[in-house]
Amino acid sequence: MGLAGTLNALNLSSLSSLISLNLTSNKLYGSIPPTIAALSKLTSLDLCTNNFSGIIPLQIGSLTKLNSLNLSENQISGSIPLWLSTIPEELGRLVNLLDLRISYNQLTGSIPTSLESLTKLEILYLCENQISGSIPHEIQNLISGQIPHEIQNLVNLRDLEINTNLLDGSIPAGNLVSLTKLDISANHFDGSIPASIGNLTKVELLHLFENQISGLIPNEIQNMVSLKDLEIYTNLLSGSIPAGIENLTKLEILYLFENQISGSIPHKIQNLVRLRDLEINTNLLHGPIPAGIGNLTKLKILQLHENHISGSIPPSFGSLTNLTDLPLFDNRLSGSLPQEFNNITNLKLLDLTNNNFSGHLPHDICKGGVLAHLTLNNNHFGGPIPKSLKHCTSLSRVRLEHNQLSGDISENLGVYPHLWYINLSFNKLFGKLSSNWGGCHNLSFLGISNNKVTGNIPPELGKLTQLQVLDLSSNNLLGEIPKDLSKLTHLYNLTLSNNQLVGEVYPEFGELLSLEILDLSANRLKGRVPEQLGNCTKLRVLKLGNNHLNGSIPFQIGNLVSLDDFLDLSHNSFTGEIPSQFGKLDKLQDLNLSHNELTGHVPPSLSYMISLLSIDLSYNKLEGPLPNSKIFQNASLEWFIHNKGLCGVVKGLPSCGSFTTSKDDSNKHHKLLLLIIVSSLGSLFLLFLFVICALLILIRKEHTRHAASIEGGEYSIWNFSGVDAYKSIIEATEDFDDKYCIGTGAYSGVYKALLPSGEFVAVKKFHPSGIENSPSMQTFWIEIQALTQIRHRNIVKLYGFGSN
């Protein structure tokens, strides 16, 4: 139907002869009106699956001829007066009720004791509410022990569903001999399962799951021979599975998982030939899998994972041709998989993780073409990946890592349109990465690390727009990193370490704004680190160590304020100073800049890196005092050895006071020596006076000639263009490439440049620091002032200076 609105507009008094009212599955809302009492002849009232709210009206108790009342799947609620549950006591007047359903509402409070009067009741559904308290004593007497004479009995009750409430206390069960369905799951019942439950011989469905039931499964359960569905999972049951369970030959579903059940799987479980779903995982079961389990040919789901089961998988598993799900992970199983596995053609999920399996994988493991989840990691499987997997396009998740698989993967794997996760790491696979990977468009995780894979990284990987993790580390990969990888905007882990990759770290890597882990360490990368990496502000780990990178460390790395694990730039050829911006990395725990050619002082700003646990600056050319902060006070001397002249708080380094005194004494010695030399030279002044006069004449002539030669030169004041000169220098030195470097100092490097005019000039380039008053900038201005005031034929002429 498609009715909408409320019932308040109806003149119910004009319908006094109505016998049945069914308004189920509409869009009715509002409260159930008290005028419902006018329908005094009603025998059936069905208002389920609407949007009724408010409380159940008290007047509904006047409908004494009702034998079916269904108010399920609404929003009935309301406040609870102390003397009244939201399930009104008036329901107890409906003595002709056969069927009472008020499930899937928002009812609260307790179950009213007046329900004891509903002696004809066959179906009682109160599930999916917020009913609390214990089951009333009066009702307990109806379902356990002797039925009191004064209230007679509810022997006609067939279905009792009070699951998913807040009920507590012990389980009431026993003499409701007409019950076929008992569901008290998802409550707070505790205690043990009473032995009297064996009296419920007509029960086909018994749901006790998600409570706090403890103790043993009683042997009397073997008397419940009508059981088809037995679910007691997620409780605190202990002991073994009772042997008498073999009598429950009608069982189709048996759920005992997530308990503390011990012992072995009963051999006679093979008698439960109607079982479709057997889930006894997450317990303390041990011993082998019974060979007779092959008799359960109707099984679709067999879950034995997370136990202590040992031994091998029996060949009889080949008879389970209807099996779709087989998770056996986290056990102690061993041996090889029987070839009979090839017969399980309906298998969709096979999970054998964390066992001790060995041998080859079955060659037709995907014979049925429906295998989706194949997780066999952390075993000892060997041999090649089965060829049948190449055409197994149903695969969506594959985990084969941490085995001993071998063989060539160049052609053994195909295109998988549904695949989103594959990990082949930590095996002995070889061959090249196929371009087919680019066709797995849904792939979000690709891991093939720690193998023997060679060749180049295929640029087709740039088509995997959903990729989040790419780990190809610890192989023998060659060539450059494809620029196409910069298209993977969802990538948060790019690990290519321990290969033989060459080329540069491209500026395009700065477009990977989702990156959290970038590990390119232990390769043969060269060139400068692009400043664009500073755009990857989500980075938590940055490892570029053990390469051939050079130039200065970009100060933009200091913008990576999310770095909290590693920043490793060690074992390269970085020059210049440590950027002071590193002080912003206050989450970083491990900083390694060792084995480079860094110069200058350690920035005081590093004292703001309050999370540091390790800082390695060894094997550089650093000097001066170390910051006086906790990480340096507790640091190991090994982190600072083999530098130019570090001093400070680290035990084993000289104090900066004694370091300065030593330098002052050395200066005094040089001053004294200078005075002695100057005084001795004074006596020769007269001797050279004549020579000097003669030289002045020659110098004047030479100066005139030199000025004439310079007049039309490249750097003549009349011809000089700063932009053109800078461009010429950049071209002549190939942007200050190291091969043109003829000398380095603490703050600068000197480069030889051949200009277009054919002239050779020396260009001194100061290392950038990014700080206005840094030592390198001060040295720059001092040297400029000196060279503009000095004229000597043994001192090179200053043609110009500038800043870019």
- DSSP line for 201-214: TT-SEEE--SSEEE
Distance separating alpha carbons of residues 66 and 47, to the nearest angstrom = 14
Closest Cα to residue 278, out of 316, 305, 238? 305
CB 728, CB 757: distance < 8 Å: no
**Cα–Cα distance measured from residue 556 to residue 317, given in angstroms and rounded to the nearest whole number:** 60
- What lies within 8 Å, CB to CB, of 18 at 6+ separation is 39, 41, 42
Please tell me the distance from the alpha carbon of residue 53 to that of residue 107, in angstroms, as a whole number: 10
Rounded distance, CA 37 to CA 66, Å? 11
Q: What is the DSSP letter of 466?
A: T
CB 174, CB 203: distance < 8 Å? no
Residue 670 tokens read as 């040089």
Buried/exposed 386-422: b ≥16 CB within 10 Å, e otherwise: bebbbebebbbbbbbbbbebbbebbebbbbbeebbbb
3-state secondary structure 230-241: EECCCCEECCCC
Burial class (CB in 10 A: 0-12, 13-18, 19+), 17: exposed
Closest CA to 582 of 771, 720, 783: 771
Of 392, 446, 380, 448, give the one whose Cα is nearest residue 417.
Answer: 392
Q: Could you give the CA distance from residue 7 to residue 29 in angstroms, rounded to a whole number? A: 8
Cβ distance 478 to 455 under 8 Å?
Answer: yes
- DSSP at 668: H
Helix, strand, coil share of the chain (percent; to 5): 25, 25, 50
What is the C-alpha to C-alpha distance for residues 434 and 68, in angstroms, rounded to an integer?
Answer: 67
Per the structure block, which two tokens stand in for 694?
């003669």
The residues near 714 (Cβ < 8 Å, ≥ 6 apart) are 725, 728, 755, 756, 757, 759
The beta strands (E) that lie in 464-577 are given as 469-471, 476-478, 493-495, 517-519, 526-527, 541-543, 548-552, 566-568, 573-576
Q: Is 765 labelled as part of a ligand binding site?
A: yes
Handedness of CA 543, 544, 546, 552 (dihedral sign): negative
Per DSSP, what are the bridge partners of residue 374? 350, 398
| 585: CB partners within 8 A, 6+ apart | 558, 560, 561, 563, 567, 591, 609
Q: Which value, to the nearest 10 degrees, does the dihedral of the CA atoms of residues 593, 599, 604, 608 take?
A: -20
**Spatial contact of 620 and 640, defined as CB atoms under 8 Å apart:** no
CA R_g for the chain: 42
Q: Which two tokens stand for residue 51?
A: 């949007």
Burial of 185 (0-12, 13-18, 19+ CB in 10 A): buried
| CB atoms closer than 10 angstroms to residue 128 | 20
Do 259 and 216 form a contact (C-beta atoms < 8 A)?
A: no
Q: Which residues make up each annotated binding site?
A: 765
Q: Which residues make up each annotated binding site for ATP?
A: 765
